[in-house]
């Protein structure tokens, strides 16, 4: 049973949080936070997403705030730093916000930049981390197969952990994986899981070595756990520049996985210039705790979105809830 819209919105807050650097083309992050009998949930699909895609994000928020507890296997989760496409001279300052981490995910394949920019960023991250650090790159599907192969060659000297979503389609991922067969360079699928009608298609096609799972886009912890189990591939839990409420949802997923061999992309509170809690889930010694997050009333007021944005998010929730009701 899904709550009624008035119940969902009775204690809801819409916030707008500043970022420390531009990410995905924005400098602020908006989110709608829900409070229910089980705690807090976050509904924050990106602004350009349609109602059908947003409905999965709402299902995750409802599960967090109204659902039953999910068994946990660990009390803390290892996390990586996430590096946006910033100039090389800003890299050290951005990474400092994450504290001591052993893994950095470097965003690459920005349409406004060249492969040389990506190589320069990865080179600087390797310098900062040293030889024992782990570097993964995330192209968000921005390369063709040929471009991804060229990038793999250009980045070969930096001992990458894996390539995340180097190409957009499953067929392209499969072709690239075949070309890189002897490289021992794994391919991780993100968009091919969370934005796909069939999140298991990439695993069935043998197009990836790892799957990246995110609680909100996949509709909640329970569904994400089923997808990981059926995919039969190692999983990395990641976030979508969530508030600490959303990161707590991701941490619950990571804590519930039977195996967690890779650092998770749940350290992104470090990219927020402000949060909704006085105790944000920022990394400490490369880890975040698995715990509920209680927003601070003063911070909710301080970062409340303007009235017209509140109305926009309330309307969006009602539309997404309508889609969710039909789908169930």
Q: Residues at the annotated binding site for Mg(2+)?
A: 138, 164, 190
State the pLDDT at residue 10: 97
Strands (E), the chain: 13-23, 26-36, 39-43, 76-78, 81-83, 103-107, 134-138, 160-164, 187-189, 210-214, 235-238, 287-289
State the pLDDT at residue 278: 97
Q: What is the mean pLDDT of residues 274-285?
A: 97
Catalytic: 195? no
Q: 5-69+297-327 falls under which CATH superfamily?
A: Enolase-like, N-terminal domain (3.30.390.10)
Catalytic: 214? yes
Q: What is the pLDDT of residues 54-85, one digit of tens each?
A: 999 999 999 999 999 999 999 999 999 999 99
Model confidence at 24: pLDDT above 90:
no
Contacts of 319 (CB under 8 A, 6+ apart): 51, 54
Read off the pTM.
Answer: 0.96
Q: What is the mean pLDDT of residues 29-42?
A: 98
Q: What is the mean pLDDT of residues 278-293?
A: 97
Q: Residues at the annotated binding site?
A: 138, 164, 190
Among 105, 126, 177, 214, which one carries the catalytic annotation? 214
Q: How far apart are CA 313 and CA 157, in angstroms?
A: 46
Among 107, 121, 177, 287, which one carries the catalytic annotation? 107
Q: Do domains 5-69+297-327 and 76-289 have the same CATH topology?
A: no
Q: What is the mean pLDDT of residues 173-200?
A: 95
Q: What is the mean pLDDT of residues 163-178?
A: 98
Average pLDDT, the chain: 97
Lowest-confidence region among 22-26, 120-124, 137-141: 22-26
Is residue 221 within 8 A of residue 70, CB to CB? The reply is yes
- CATH (one of 3.20.20.120, 1.10.220.10, 3.40.50.2020, 3.10.180.10) for 76-289: 3.20.20.120
State the pLDDT at residue 22: 85
Model confidence at 143: pLDDT above 80:
yes
Model confidence at 207: pLDDT above 90:
yes
* Domain ranges for the chain: 5-69+297-327, 76-289
Is residue 76 within 8 A of residue 248, CB to CB? The reply is no
């Amino acid at each position: 049973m899904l709550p009624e819209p008035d119940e969902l919105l009775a204690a809801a807050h819409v916030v707008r949080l500043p970022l420390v650097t531009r990410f995905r083309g924005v400098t602020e992050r908006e989110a709608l936070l829900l409070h229910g009998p089980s705690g807090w949930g976050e509904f924050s699909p990106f602004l350009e997403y349609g109602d059908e895609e947003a409905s999965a994000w709402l299902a995750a928020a409802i599960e967090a705030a109204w659902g039953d507890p999910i068994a946990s296997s660990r009390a803390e989760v290892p996390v990586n730093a996430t590096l946006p496409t910033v100039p090389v001279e800003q890299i050290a300052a951005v990474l400092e916000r994450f504290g001591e981490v052993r893994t950095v995910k470097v965003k690459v394949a920005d349409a406004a930049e060249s492969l040389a920019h990506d190589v320069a960023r990865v080179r600087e991250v390797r310098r900062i981390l040293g030889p024992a650090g782990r570097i993964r790159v995330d192209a968000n599907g921005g390369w063709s197969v040929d471009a991804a192969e060229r990038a793999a060659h250009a980045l070969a000297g930096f001992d990458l952990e894996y390539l995340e979503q180097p190409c957009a389609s499953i067929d392209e991922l499969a072709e690239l994986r075949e070309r890189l067969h002897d490289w021992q360079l794994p391919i991780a699928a993100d968009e091919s899981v969370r934005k796909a009608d069939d999140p298991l298609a990439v695993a069935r096609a043998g197009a990836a070595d790892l799957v990246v799972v995110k609680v909100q886009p996949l509709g909640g912890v329970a569904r994400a756990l089923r997808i990981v189990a059926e995919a039969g591939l190692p999983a990395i839990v990641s976030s979508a520049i969530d508030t600490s409420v959303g990161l707590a949802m991701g941490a619950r997923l990571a804590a519930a996985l039977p195996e967690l061999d890779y650092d998770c992309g749940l350290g992104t509170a470090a990219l927020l210039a402000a949060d909704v809690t006085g105790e944000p889930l920022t990394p400490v010694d490369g880890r975040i705790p698995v715990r509920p997050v209680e927003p601070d009333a003063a911070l909710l007021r301080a970062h409340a979105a303007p009235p017209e944005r509140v109305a926009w998010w309330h309307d969006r929730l009602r539309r997404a809830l309508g889609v969710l009701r039909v789908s169930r």
